[in-house]
Amino acid sequence: MVSRRQFISRTALAGSALLMGRASRAEAQEASRIADQVDASRAPAGDEPQARGAKARTSAYVPVTTPNGTTLPYRVVDGVKVFHLVAAAVKYEFTSGPSAECWGYNGASPGPTIEAVEGDRVRFYVTNKLPEPTSLHWHGLLLPNGMDGVGGLTQPYIREGETFRYESTLKNHGTFMYHPHVDEMTQMAMGMMGMFIVHPKRLSRERRVDRDFALILSEFSVPIGTARPDPREMVDFNVLTINGKAFPGTAPLVARTGQRVRIRMGNLSAMHNHPIHLHGYSLRVTATDGGVLPPSAQWRETTVLVPVGATRDAELLADAPGDWAMHCHFTHHVMNQMGHGGHNVLGMERGDFDKRMRKVVPGYMTMGHDGMAAMATMRMKVPDNSIPMYGTEGKYDYIDMGGMFTVLKVRDGLSSYEDPGWYEQPEGSMARVATADELAADGVEPGGSGWRTSGRASRGHAQRAGSARSKSNSSPLSTPSRVSALCPRSEAPSPARRSVSPTRTLPLATCSHALRPGASVCVTRCPSSSRLAYRSTS
């Protein structure tokens, strides 16, 4: 039974194969096979694994999804997969609005993701429409030396207007990249790069995933108001991108609850490694561009450092629905165009400074004296062709991040991988403003510091601690969980006995790090959580 969607995608792909001229039965079959794979990846209701019960099988991979990007089409000629990349200038939007003249491949920067299977014979035609020579290097692929694409070393330059031919058999599988190896500094700073995914010939059950994402990280220096990235920049990059987009232009990674997800990350930034942090999950790093790691060598992280000129595959089981932030943990890499000049005015008492300044600088306004969060929503007019510093309106408030930031959206029962919108938090599961009753019940004084020493909560603490002591002499430190909190300053209190009430004596450790001058802090270790608890006693 062929669904309507299957029919359309097969017809389209088979049709495009026919239109390419040298159509054959093999090509049509190949197109149909790709259509099946594409269909499998895009139909959440029908994408159950086909490898169930089989230890290993011939590769029927789930095609890679490149958020904000595309996959490079190919045609099969006499058993060889033939691809064509055209290097040329491209007018490019980093996020909605501002654009720059970048250089890329096939009208995109970064170029389309190349996808093939280990053992494939592949042929690449590379046409140079740039104003200078180029070449194409296949980063991480094991190829004959003459196909390695290093201008001058392994091949002549591809000069303006020329088309070069690269051909090889894919020996290794994994997550790789492609980029020029002539005038590297300029050409990569202008956006010339792409991902190259080689699926294994035989796909073990362990390596099977339901969603497979490819992300390439890059950084640009586009001085505000200018039209092109500045390749000379070494430090101050102001447009940080995932697949060429800065948040809020980055498309989310969408998965259905229960799916296995692989996130392939490559970094071809000029100067920065990027620690990519995913909220809500523990990532398992399963591969680098050197190959798949054996299970014993894989490691778990929540922040995967992706060095320049390297790739990392990280995997997770999408068992927690929600909108999970995923971003570079360099705080300056989750900012859009940010001026780094000027003086630090944080904490400045403005007084009539602005008024006096406006006499010499019309419209002058001191910004950042009380933090920068408010600047996100000021809707200040930004110079021509620049990206506002911060992000976008979120479901609950403003999301004050930009740059290398995206969202993993996990949902139950998805019927499509289109952006499902913002997550609806289940009743009672979201952080919110505390009520006065709750504060009183837990003895929290928002205006003070530490815990209340009188009233219901503190009496309750003393009573509970006392009763715990009476029940068990060996565990007198029972600390009610509601007063359990990490001591903000010390994790290593010196043991001591102190009196905390006129009538009850508890063995407590004293912490020399007072929460406020003159206050002393009792530190205990909660026997159930083994966390340190602190309580102000004055």
Smallest separation (angstroms) from Cu ion to the CB of 327: 8
> Which of 73, 291, 83, 75 has its CA nearest to residue 167?
83
> Which of 125, 147, 235, 244 has its CA nearest to residue 188?
244
| Site size with Cu ion, rule: CB under 5 A | 4
- Bridge partners of 105, per DSSP, are 87, 108
Q: The dihedral of CA 174, 177, 178, 181: what is its sign?
A: negative
Smallest separation (angstroms) from Cu ion to the CB of 401: 12
Q: Residue 331 or residue 467: which is nearer to Cu ion going by CB?
A: 331
Smallest separation (angstroms) from Cu ion to the CB of 373: 21
Smallest separation (angstroms) from Cu ion to the CB of 329: 7
Q: Residue 10 or residue 274: which is nearer to Cu ion going by CB?
A: 274
* Region near Cu ion per CB under 5 A, out of 22-30, 32-40, 132-140, 268-276: 268-276
Smallest separation (angstroms) from Cu ion to the CB of 478: 45
Cβ–Cβ < 8 Å for 406, 338? no
Smallest separation (angstroms) from Cu ion to the CB of 268: 13
Binding mask 49-68 for Cu ion (x = CB under 5 A): --------------------
The per-residue DSSP string of 98-145 comes to -EEEEEEETTBSSPPBEEEETT-EEEEEEEE-SSS-B--EEET----G
* Region near Cu ion per CB under 5 A, out of 15-23, 177-185, 274-282, 346-354: 274-282
In one-letter notation, the amino acid at residue 263 is I
Cβ–Cβ < 8 Å for 117, 60? no
Mapped onto helix, strand or coil, the DSSP state of residue 198 is strand
Q: Residue 229 or residue 321: which is nearer to Cu ion going by CB?
A: 229
First to last CA, the chain: 76
Smallest separation (angstroms) from Cu ion to the CB of 300: 21
Smallest separation (angstroms) from Cu ion to the CB of 305: 10
Smallest separation (angstroms) from Cu ion to the CB of 139: 19
Binding mask 192-211 for Cu ion (x = CB under 5 A): --------------------
* Token output for 300: 């778990």
* Token output for 424: 């609806």
> Which of 221, 467, 212 has its CA nearest to residue 340?
221
Smallest separation (angstroms) from Cu ion to the CB of 272: 5
Q: Residue 182 or residue 240: which is nearer to Cu ion going by CB?
A: 240
Q: Is the peptide bond before 362 cis (omega within 30 degrees of 0)?
A: no
Smallest separation (angstroms) from Cu ion to the CB of 333: 3
Q: Residue 129 or residue 332: which is nearer to Cu ion going by CB?
A: 332
Q: Determine if 260 is a binding residue for Cu ion (CB under 5 A).
A: no
Mapped onto helix, strand or coil, the DSSP state of residue 303 is strand
C-alpha angle 251/208/198, rounded to 5°? 70
Q: Which of residues 390-449 bind Cu ion (CB under 5 A)?
A: none
Binding mask 498-527 for Cu ion (x = CB under 5 A): ------------------------------
Cβ–Cβ < 8 Å for 314, 214? no
Helix, strand counts (H, E) of the chain: 6, 29
Smallest separation (angstroms) from Cu ion to the CB of 217: 7
Mapped onto helix, strand or coil, the DSSP state of residue 51 is coil
Binding mask 331-360 for Cu ion (x = CB under 5 A): --x---------------------------
Rounded to an integer, what distance in angstroms lies between the CA atom of residue 224 and that of residue 385? 7
Q: For residue 42, give the H/E element and its range.
A: helix 25-42
Q: Determine if 452 is a binding residue for Cu ion (CB under 5 A).
A: no
> Which of 493, 489, 531 has its CA nearest to residue 509?
493
Q: Residue 333 or residue 469: which is nearer to Cu ion going by CB?
A: 333
Smallest separation (angstroms) from Cu ion to the CB of 191: 17
Q: Which of residues 307-336 bind Cu ion (CB under 5 A)?
A: 328, 330, 333
In one-letter notation, the amino acid at residue 205 is R
Q: Residue 330 or residue 353: which is nearer to Cu ion going by CB?
A: 330
Q: For residue 509, give the H/E element and its range.
A: strand 505-511
Burial of 104 (0-12, 13-18, 19+ CB in 10 A): buried
Rounded to an integer, what distance in angstroms lies between the CA atom of residue 36 and that of residue 44? 13
Q: Residue 85 or residue 215: which is nearer to Cu ion going by CB?
A: 215
Q: Is the peptide bond before 156 cis (omega within 30 degrees of 0)?
A: no
Smallest separation (angstroms) from Cu ion to the CB of 16: 38
Q: Residue 122 or residue 240: which is nearer to Cu ion going by CB?
A: 240
135 φ/ψ sector (left φ>0, alpha ψ -120 to 50, else beta): beta
Q: Residue 37 or residue 68: which is nearer to Cu ion going by CB?
A: 68
* Token output for 274: 């990027």
Q: Residue 330 or residue 398: which is nearer to Cu ion going by CB?
A: 330
* Token output for 206: 């362990």
Q: Residue 260 or residue 277: which is nearer to Cu ion going by CB?
A: 277
Q: Determine if 274 is a binding residue for Cu ion (CB under 5 A).
A: yes
C-alpha angle 364/368/370, rounded to 5°? 120
Q: Residue 116 or residue 304: which is nearer to Cu ion going by CB?
A: 304
Q: Residue 81 or residue 277: which is nearer to Cu ion going by CB?
A: 277
Q: Which residues bind Cu ion (CB under 5 A)?
A: 274, 328, 330, 333
